[in-house]
Amino acid sequence: MKLFKYLLLFFIIPFVLSCSSSLDDYENTKPEFDLPTYFDGEITAWGIVQDYSNKLTRRFCVDIIATWQGSEGQLHETFFYNDGEKQIRIWNLNIADDGSVTGTAADVIGKASGSSLGTAFNWQYTLRVPVDDTEYNLFVDDWMYMMDTNRVMNRSYMKKLGITVAEISIFFDKTEPVRKCG
């Protein structure tokens, strides 16, 4: 029975991975995603977390303050979860000459990396996620889509051993005046 499970995974994982999107799919789409232009100043975002069965498990709001000095930026994110938890993540970002982006944060293992093409930005990293008394290292495949100059949609897929264990949907808005969480 165990051998059957491994064989099933061996054949299913390549099929699932082949169905994933590529940045090339967004070439020549508008409006173009420009990370430091959009993530500059104050932004508020609202999101949901769904587990592997698509059940809604959490809701949250995020206040973001983004600053840049040349090609180096910082995103200070304050998460407010519906269960009362508050979490802070500070991203330190760097944009290379070729436009690729790398970033670090306290709960990110190693460096995040990403790039944009057309209206999309794809960002990938490993995130340390605490659940009860255990921490899990989950691979995050993060896709952001520029809707207009004030709004971005985000879909994140959290994976363990190539299997999606959670999905996150986030709506970013920087329309003036920026609405704050709470």
Residue 66 near residue 73, CB atoms below 8 Å: yes
- pLDDT for residue 14: 45
Q: How would DSSP label each residue in the chain?
A: -HHHHHHHHHHHHHHHHHTS--GGGGTT-SSPP-HHHHSSEEEEEEEEEEETT--EEEEEEEEEEEEEETTEEEEEEEEEETTS-EEEEEEEEEE-TTS-EEEE-TTEEEEEEEEEETTEEEEEEEEEEEETTEEEEEEEEEEEEE-SSSEEEEEEEEEETTEEEEEEEEEEE-PSSPPPP-
pLDDT in tens, the chain (182 residues): 554 444 444 444 444 444 457 999 999 999 999 999 999 999 999 999 999 999 999 999 999 999 999 999 999 999 999 999 999 999 999 999 999 999 999 999 999 999 999 999 999 999 999 888 999 999 999 999 999 999 999 999 999 999 999 999 999 999 999 999 97
pTM of the model: 0.85
Query: Which structure tokens are listed for 5?
Result: 């499970």
Q: Where are the domains of the chain?
A: 31-173
Domain 31-173 in this protein, CATH class: mainly beta
Give the per-residue pLDDT at 1.
Answer: 53
At 98, which amino acid appears?
D
At residue 104, the pLDDT reads: 98
Given a contact cutoff of 8 angstroms between Cβ atoms, the answer to whether 39 and 101 are in contact is no
Instruction: Give residues with Cβ within 8 angstroms of 88, minimum separation 6.
Output: 76, 77, 78, 79
Rounded distance between C-alpha atoms, residue 106 and residue 89, angstroms: 7
Gyration radius from the chain CA atoms: 17
